[in-house]
Structure 1
Amino acid sequence: MIETQQASIQDLINTAISHLETEGDTKLISYTKEITDIDPLTFFRQAETLGQNRIFWTSTADHFYITGVGNAWEITAERSPFAETEREWNRLMEDALIHNPYKLPGTGLNAMGGMDFDPEKEKTALWKNFQPSQFTVPAFMLTKRGHSCYLTTNFLVKYGDHPFQLANQLEKRERELFANNPTPEEKMSIEKKTEIAPDAWKQLVKQTTEDIANKQAGKIVLARELRLKFDKKADIAGVLDKLLATQSNSFIFAFEKGEDCFIGATPERLVKLESRELLSTCLAGTAPRGKTVEEDAAIADELLHDEKNLQEHKFVVEMIKQAMLDYCEDVMIPEEPVIYPLRNLQHLYTPVTATLKSSYSIFDVIGKLHPTPALGGVPRKESMAYIRKHEQLDRGWYGAPIGWLDSNGNGEFAVAIRSGLIQGDEASLFAGCGVVKDSDPEAEYEETNIKFTPMLSVMGEGR
C-alpha cells in the first residue's frame, strides 16, 4: 500500500504512471477529500443519471452512511468466499495508491458487498446477477459520519494515460454527480402478491419437527418467499426513503447488480470492527409490537419469559460466545437479554464486545459466525445440510453477511434479513423462522407473515 498525505488527483496520477512499466500495467488510485454536507439518499438518487450500479449502506443508530456509485474494482469468489475475498482484498490494498488523510472508518479505499447464504446450494435464475461472493470498490463513494462528509474517488490508471486528461474526466463525472437534478420519485403500488407454495412449506415445518424429535438437529431455520408484482418499475431510492423513515435501529442497504437490487432493513449486526475493538449482537426471538403502550409492554414481558424464544436466543448467544473466545480477548456478554424494539417487531437482544487478537481479521470472525443459529440452526453442519436438501428456496444473499471493509482495518457486516430482491416491476421478499421439536406449522407461518411486514409496508399500497 502506497499512502500519501498531501496530493492532488493529478499528482497521484503522475505518481501511479511512474510505477507502470509496460503496456497493460494498471494501478488503482483512491483519493479521499472532505466535502460540504450532502444527503446520502440525494446522492444515491442523483447517481441514477450516470446509469451505473449503486450501493447504499447506513447504520441508522450511528448516523453513519456510505453510498457507492459505479465499479472501479471487483472481487469475486466461488467456493471459499472468506479466504478468497480476504486474499484478493489484501493483494489490492498492497498495490493501491491511497490518499486519505482522515483515516476515519468508512473512508479511503473501501469494498462493499456480500455473499451467498450457502455457496453449496444449487443456484437458480432468481439470483443470476449476484455472485456467490462479490465485493465492489465503487468509482465514487460518499461517506457521511454525523455532519461530516467525505468523497472518495477510486479509479484505474493505465500505462500511457495522460494525467491532465484523466483528471479532467474525473472532475467532469464528479460535477455530474453533484448537479442536483435527480429523477423524481415514482410512486408504485402492489398489484399482486403470490405466496410460493405455502402449504408445502407448512408441511416441511411439520416434517422438520418430527426430524428434530428424532435427533437430526436441535433447531432448523426454514425460510420462504413472497413474490410481488408492481404497477410500474420499482423506484429504489423511493423504497430506501421509506425504510429510512420507518426502520430505525436498523442497517438499511441496497446493492444494485444490473437490473436487480437486493434491498432491506436488517436489525441484526453480525460484527463491527473499529481499531481492533469488536462488537457483535445476538438477535433472536421475535414478537409483534403492541397497538398501545400497555399492550406493547405486555408483549415485551411475555417475550422475555417465553421458553421457545429464550431457547432460540440462547443458541445464538452460546455460538457467538464460542466464536469470540477463539479469536478475541476481553469478551464481555450480559447475563440476560433485553428488548430491541423496531417499528413493526421487537426482538430479544444481547450485545457481545471483545478485542480482536492481532493475528486475526474480520473475515476470520465472519467465517466463524456465519450462519448464526438464528439463520441456520443447531448444530450448524446438520442444520445446513437439512436446509440444503429440503428447502425449496434459493436464499442467495438473503440471510448472509453483507457489509463493507476499509483500508484502515475497519469494517461492519450485518445479516441480510428483512429484505427483498427487486427485479424491475417485480420483487421477491424473504422471511424465515426457527423450527424446534415443539413448533406449530401454523404459528411459524404467521411469524413469517409478521417478518414480511417491514418490507411490504414500504413497497407501495396494495390494490
Structure 2
Amino acid sequence: MIDIQMKELEEKIAAVKHSIGQNESSKLFSLTKKIENKDPLLIFEGAKQFVKDRFYWKNPNRTLAITGVGSVQTLIAENNRFQETENLWKQAVKNAWIDNPYTMVPATGLVAFGGMDFDPLEAKTELWKKFELSKFYIPELMLTTYHSDSYVTVNILINKEETIDEAATRLRKNTQKFITGKTFGVQHIEIKRNRVIEPEKWKETVKEATKEMKEKRAEKIVLAREVRLSFTEEINITQVLEELHHTQANSYIFAFESGGDCFIGATPERIVKVEKNNLLSTCLAGTAPRGKTKEEDEQIGYELLHDKKNRDEHEFVVKMIKEAVLKTCTDVNIPNEPVLHPLKNLQHLYTPVTGTLKDEYSIFDCLKDLHPTPALGGTPTEDSLAYIREHELLDRGWYGAPIGWVDSNQNGEFAVAIRSGLIQGDEASLFAGCGVLADSDPEMEFEETRIKMLPMLNVLGGKQE
C-alpha cells in the first residue's frame, strides 16, 4: 500500500478539489510514492481480473520496467497522429495535478504509454479492430522499477461534487485492488494449427519487388508476412512476457493490451530515447544468424560486417536517421562504421546516433521524422510505402510502428515494434519482415523472416515450419 497518512492524503485531495475550475467537473490527480520493491509482472497478472487494458515495458539493459493497468484517460488520435497525440498529451499534463517528488526518475509522475499504426493510409482489417490509429493510456495505477527502486503512481479523476473523504476512500481502494498483484503458474499449451499465410505468393511478391529496384523505381522495399497460430487454450500473456525476458537479452520487452487483445514482442530496435534534451536514436539494419560455435559465430559476424547487401541496407538507415536528427538536434554524433549487435537467434549491424534536442522540438517531432526508417519501409519512403500498400499480404496494424512512453518530466522512449505478435485469446498472429534489394533472393528472404519469428514462436511453445 502507498505509505501516506489519511490526513495527508485528504489535504492533497482538498488542494486538488480547490483547483477545479468553474467550468470543470473534475481534475486528474496523479500521486507518486516510493514503495518496497514489487514484481511488475505480478501487478500485470493480478490486474487482468479487473481490466482488459494493460501495458508492460522493460528496456534492453533492464534498468527500467513499467507496468500500467487500467486507463484513467485514453489519448486517441484520428488524423495527424503525431501532432494530435502530442497536443492531447500536453493538454493532459497541463490540466492534471501532479504530485511527484521523484522528477529525476524516468517514467514517474504522469506517464502515457501507447503506439500507433505503421501506415495510416493502409487498408484496415478486422485483425486490428481494437487498435486505433494512435492510442495511449494514462493508467489507473503504474509500477515503475528503476534500477533497484520501485515507485507506484496512482491516477484518479477527482470529481467536484464528491466529498474529500469519498475521493480519498476511492483512491485507497483502487490502489489496494491493483497493487496486491497475483502469482501465475507455468502454462503448458500446445499449438493446434500453424498456418503460414500464402508463402509462395509472398515469395512471388519479393521477386516482383526486385524488379522495382532493377528498374530504378525504388532502392529498397521492406516486405512483411504473417503466421497465424491456434492453441489448445487461452494464452497467458504474463507468462509470455516472463519467457521473453529470460530468452531475449538486449531487447525491449513490450505489451499493449486493448480490450483483451494484446500486441506483444521483444524488439532490439530503438527508434528514439529522450532524457530532458539528450537524444539517442539507433540504426539497426543488416541481419545474419548466430553461429552454433564461437568460431562460427565470429565468422558469420565478420561476413555480415563486410557483406555489400547488408552494408548497403544499413547505410540507407544511417543516412535517413542522420538527416532527420540533424533537423531536430545540435551536437549530432554518428560513428563512421557499424558494430555487431548480437541477439539470441540473430545478429545485426548497429550504429548509435546521439544529439541535443532543440528547445522547439519534442519526442513526437522526432517520431514523425524517423518513422518509418528504411529498415521498416524502404527507400524512397513514399515509393516503398505505396508498393507495400498495394502488394503486401497483411494489414501491419501496429507492427513495425513506434511503441513506447512519455512522462511529465520531458523523458520518453520509443522502440520499433518488430519481433512481435498479436495475441487474441487462444490465437495469435506473428509478424516479420525483411529488406528487399535488387539482388534479393526470395527463398533467402523467406528464411530471414522465419528466423525473425523464432523469438515469439519459441515462447509460445511452437516450432517453426
TM-score normalised to the size of structure 1? 0.96
How far has the Cα of 1:443 moved from its partner?
0.8
2:333 aligned partner = 332
1:271 aligned partner = 272
Cα distance in 1 for partners of 2:194, 2:391 equals 24
2:45 aligned partner = 45
1:59 aligned partner = 59
Are residues 1:408 and 2:417 paired?
no
SS at match of 1:141: strand
How far has the Cα of 1:325 moved from its partner?
0.6
1:130 aligned partner = 131
How far has the Cα of 1:462 moved from its partner?
5.3
SS at match of 1:50: coil
Q: Which amino acid aligns with 1:149?
A: S
CA contact (8 A) 1:202 1:445 kept: yes
How far has the Cα of 1:289 moved from its partner?
0.8
More displaced, 100-109 or 180-189?
Answer: 180-189
Are residues 1:226 and 2:232 paired?
no
Q: From the superposition, tell whether residues 21 and 374 of structure 1 become closer, same or farther in structure 2 (CA, over 3 Å).
A: closer
Cα distance in 1 for partners of 2:373, 2:8 equals 45
CA contact (8 A) 1:48 1:182 kept: no
How far has the Cα of 1:338 moved from its partner?
0.5
2:3 aligned partner = none
Cα distance in 1 for partners of 2:255, 2:21 equals 39
1:429 aligned partner = 430
Cα distance in 2 for partners of 1:77, 1:361 equals 17
How far has the Cα of 1:173 moved from its partner?
2.6
How far has the Cα of 1:48 moved from its partner?
2.1
Cα distance in 2 for partners of 1:87, 1:138 equals 18
Cα distance in 2 for partners of 1:355, 1:24 equals 38
Matched pairs, number:
457
SS at match of 1:457: helix
How far has the Cα of 1:461 moved from its partner?
4.0
Structure 1: gaps spanning 5 or more residues: 1-6
Identity %: 54
Q: From the superposition, tell whether residues 181 and 453 of structure 1 become closer, same or farther in structure 2 (CA, over 3 Å).
A: closer
Are residues 1:310 and 2:287 paired?
no
The correspondence of residues 149-160 of structure 1 with structure 2, limited to 5 A, is 149-160=150-161
Cα distance in 1 for partners of 2:355, 2:55 equals 29
2:84 aligned partner = 84
Cα distance in 1 for partners of 2:24, 2:124 equals 35
Cα distance in 2 for partners of 1:51, 1:109 equals 20
Cα distance in 1 for partners of 2:461, 2:231 equals 8
More displaced, 179-188 or 204-213?
Answer: 179-188
CA contact (8 A) 1:331 1:353 kept: yes
Cα distance in 1 for partners of 2:18, 2:186 equals 46
Cα distance in 2 for partners of 1:450, 1:42 equals 31
The correspondence of residues 340-419 of structure 1 with structure 2, limited to 5 A, is 340-419=341-420
CA contact (8 A) 1:79 1:120 kept: no
Cα distance in 2 for partners of 1:159, 1:170 equals 15
How far has the Cα of 1:187 moved from its partner?
2.5
How far has the Cα of 1:186 moved from its partner?
2.7
CA contact (8 A) 1:70 1:139 kept: yes
Per-residue Cα deviation, 1:99-143 (whole angstroms, up to 9, x for no partner): 001102100000000000001111100000000000110000000
How far has the Cα of 1:223 moved from its partner?
0.4
Are residues 1:164 and 2:159 paired?
no
CA contact (8 A) 2:52 2:258 kept: no
Q: From the superposition, tell whether residues 428 and 80 of structure 1 become closer, same or farther in structure 2 (CA, over 3 Å).
A: same
Q: Which amino acid aligns with 1:11?
A: E
How far has the Cα of 1:23 moved from its partner?
8.1
SS at match of 1:165: helix
More displaced, 165-174 or 50-59?
Answer: 165-174
CA contact (8 A) 2:430 2:453 kept: yes
Q: Which amino acid aligns with 2:178?
A: L
CA contact (8 A) 2:404 2:413 kept: yes
The correspondence of residues 2-41 of structure 1 with structure 2, limited to 5 A, is 8-20=8-20, 25-41=25-41
SS at match of 2:315: helix
CA contact (8 A) 1:191 1:462 kept: no
CA contact (8 A) 2:206 2:442 kept: yes
Per-residue Cα deviation, 1:171-191 (whole angstroms, up to 9, x for no partner): 123223333543434322222
Per-residue Cα deviation, 1:206-225 (whole angstroms, up to 9, x for no partner): 11101211111100000000
Per-residue Cα deviation, 1:429-460 (whole angstroms, up to 9, x for no partner): 00000011111111111111011111111001
CA contact (8 A) 2:405 2:412 kept: yes
CA contact (8 A) 2:52 2:260 kept: no
Per-residue Cα deviation, 1:390-429 (whole angstroms, up to 9, x for no partner): 1121000000000000000110000000000000000000
Q: Which amino acid aligns with 2:245?
A: L
TM-score normalised to the size of structure 2? 0.96
Q: From the superposition, tell whether residues 57 and 180 of structure 1 become closer, same or farther in structure 2 (CA, over 3 Å).
A: closer
Q: Which amino acid aligns with 1:351?
A: P
CA contact (8 A) 2:457 2:463 kept: no
CA contact (8 A) 2:66 2:142 kept: yes
Per-residue Cα deviation, 1:65-96 (whole angstroms, up to 9, x for no partner): 01000001011112211010011111111111
Cα distance in 2 for partners of 1:454, 1:15 equals 49
Cα distance in 1 for partners of 2:320, 2:340 equals 20
Cα distance in 2 for partners of 1:180, 1:406 equals 24
Q: Which amino acid aligns with 1:84?
A: E
Q: From the superposition, tell whether residues 89 and 180 of structure 1 become closer, same or farther in structure 2 (CA, over 3 Å).
A: closer
Cα distance in 1 for partners of 2:25, 2:126 equals 36
Per-residue Cα deviation, 1:244-277 (whole angstroms, up to 9, x for no partner): 0000111100101112000000000000000200
